[in-house]
Structure 1
């Protein structure tokens, strides 16, 4: 297999946010291990660190974003701007790459781009290059989220109902209101372009597996009518730490080494979520009151308008330091693998959810934005391998959830279900497992262009 791919080059184009860069670079590592040469085209904004990947070729294109635009909270607006301003630079970069490629030794097989890039169909059609889409969402969210503009028009903005959203299970009405609360005037045209770009592609790659998407994969194949490859958790042998946009605090690993097995709650809310100072204090107090050892990630920018964690009073910090450790960023996959980790208080980004399942770590769910609301419902209501805080950032709720997860019958049942799900998903990457078969089919597909 590797020999047959010698001389084939794959061009990858990640969307410039952490949760999209990590899976794309991990996919690049997988393809490189199977004999493909790799070129990554990326924006100047949030550029991946090329020196961490000496076996890849990196090509930077201008994105035209101002400093103010880079800091916007409306990610749909940001992605719309990126698509408008990157089309011409990307076309020129890819065209030059195709011209300079030696047909004997470096034939470019295809482009693989994040689903958030919507201008790519016209570019690749003009250059006669096959194109595949990488989705960093779970299949069910990607399949149904194109209906969100319609659902927004129908939803009551005051709804706190726990009723199921029939068109978008297992979302609840109160999840939908939170998901759509931001002003999203760009959402409908952006999603329409994304849908068309996906349907006209040569295939979709999902960083997921059949075991986590048994109901939605058949429907996705029917709706999109292109080959679909659910290859995760094949990434587990290719850590994401080397593609982190943040400097990781490696001191948390020796600190974990000193803790007892399954005694630590790991707390991290990803690269995009923001909260208020009082909310961070509630979380900190909940951790302290639980009596459980904890590793808390407070990302720079997590609390807007602050340098770091100065909103936490010094007296509270002193008591926190007795039971836990606070860092700016952590090597998450390494942390979740550690024997000392017994639970994960998480924002439920899809990468974090899959990493947690792969390591058998039960979760406390506190989603903030976008697909995180659906992921949290999968974790807590469908797979039942975690507890849901139901959007309440209150110290008593956090304390109670942590205690329930670590002690008592409910926590024991959750840990057992997580153990079984971990085994089920783990089998998918073994020979003849669903993710393993999907990866082999993807390799064959890319090699056939």
Structure 2
């Protein structure tokens, strides 16, 4: 095709869900910063969120039409996971993603990119790319460890040999004697034929694709990076942690949705606290807790005596009536705690030196952001592959403490975790020798993460080899 120096163009196509869009845009920023012509494809209502997250990076956006409610069975204006509120609607939403195929192919015809990086939930993208003779790369935003666990469970099915949901089994062939129970495996939602088929298709299309980009760095999980490539025989490049793609403070605060708090007010509050004295509590953008569970968290935080910032998913009625009696006067008005209702500028908060620990649902984005900030974590996994990520933080890199959730509780939460368990867990990551040791380990990983992205680092070099592969194909 063109000459050696022809500019490569890469299209990025993220799934419209915060946990997928943000790392995908961060990844696109990495490509743009290395001089690759970078374009993100999305639908009209997701465009504002995407352009905020792109910030000042040199990335263009192309919009394709979202199919009509008649075609999708979704309500008008539902183009993002956030607006698909019930399990049934999520399934309808994922099914509707297939309808983006024609508009995407039409765009590919116009743009003639050299490669498309598409979310795992677009399994058909591998065939679409093949039509135009270009490689499709899969991006699911995860690291190697959870991907290896899933692959081994899919292949060897040890979960089918146990007699109960609570009996432990070892993940076959995987280094590190990893034990799980059936309760900790991703449970597929109701009408799971659709979802199971989607995961099967995603797996098959990944095997046929050009390869996978892992949001990780070699030094974090060398054994699993090697296992993924050598034992499982998959092509992969680690280009992470993508959340470290260079940004100024304003851009950090702008990443994702409109924050529910003024960033300056938030920083001012943090500036008034001692180093490592604040625990940050956030369960991602999909988790909704019962009032009972929220009350237990409030009591646990209060009993711990620690400063905290707690992000609570916004309710439709916006009330805080679930707060324990007198909590506002005793805790919030005394400046001990800050509650953010809605979206928080998470990276900006985690990077502040006042923050000393992180209570997380263990989505891979949050886990990595915690690692990059050098923080010990309380692991409170809910659904999807979060139990694997929690295992990784507690048992493999040893910078996490369990809060006692051993079972899959879904996005709506199950039996509430009691306040004394919460109090105990946050104290363990914040005060004492164990906390200090975990923080030192986390800090070491955080330095390694930054080095991986610098010239000569493992992620920097993997990026070069990926671009080399793409160039040799495009010639």
Quickly name the TM-score band, shorter chain normalised.
0.7 to 0.9
Instruction: Compute the displacement of 1:253 (Å).
Output: 1.4
Contact 1:25 1:243 in 2 (8 A): no
**TM-score, L = length of structure 1:** 0.87
- Aligned partners of 1:45 and 1:63 also within 8 Å: no
Distance 1:231 1:297 in 2: 29
Alignment of 1:47-196 (within 5 A): 47-49=47-49, 51-52=51-52, 53=54, 55-61=58-64, 62-64=66-68, 65=72, 66-67=74-75, 70-73=84-87, 77-78=91-92, 80-98=94-112, 108-146=113-151, 147=153, 151=157, 154=160, 159-161=165-167, 164-166=170-172, 170=178, 172-173=180-181, 175-176=183-184, 179-180=186-187, 182-183=189-190, 184-196=192-204
CA change 1:163–1:195 in 2 (3 A) is: closer
Q: Answer yes or no: is the 8 Å Cα contact 1:5–1:34 preserved in 2.
A: no
State the secondary structure of the residue aligned to 1:297.
strand
Matched, 1:231 2:239: yes
The aligned counterpart of 2:389 is 375
Structure 2 unmatched runs, 5+: 406-415
Q: In 1, Cα distance between the equivalents of 2:156 and 2:43?
A: 32
- Aligned residues, how many? 434
Task: Tell me, yes or no, if structure 1 residue 416 matches structure 2 residue 424.
Answer: no
Query: C-alpha distance in 2, partners of 1:355/1:285?
Result: 26
Query: Could you give the per-residue CA deviations for residues 360-402 of structure 1, whole angstroms, max 9, x where no partner exists?
Result: 1110111111111111111111111111112162100111111
**Cα distance in 2 for residues equivalent to 1:149 and 1:76:** 27
Cα offset, 1:10, TM superposition:
1.4
Report if the CA contact (8 A) 2:188-2:195 is conserved: no
Tell me which moved more, 226-235 or 205-214.
226-235
Alignment match, 2:401 = 387
Q: Confirm or deny: 8 A CA contact 2:399 2:442 kept in the other structure.
A: yes
Alignment counterpart, residue 316 of structure 1, candidates 324, 327, 338? 327
Secondary structure of 1:278 counterpart: helix
CA gap of 1:87–1:374, structure 2 versus 1, over 3 A, is same
Q: Secondary structure at the match of 1:229?
A: strand
> Distance in 2 between the 1:115 and 1:400 partners?
38
CA distance in 2, matches of 1:38, 1:399: 46
> What 5-or-longer segments of structure 1 have no aligned partner?
99-107
Match of 1:105? none
Bigger Cα displacement from structure 2, 157-166 vs 189-198: 157-166
Provide the TM-score with structure 2 as the length reference.
0.83
RMSD: 2.9
Counterparts in 2 of 1:278 and 1:150: CA distance versus 1, 3 Å = farther
Provide the C-alpha distance between the structure 2 equivalents of 1:181 and 1:50, rounded to a whole number of angstroms. Answer: 29
Question: Higher mean Cα deviation, 13-22 or 52-61?
Answer: 52-61
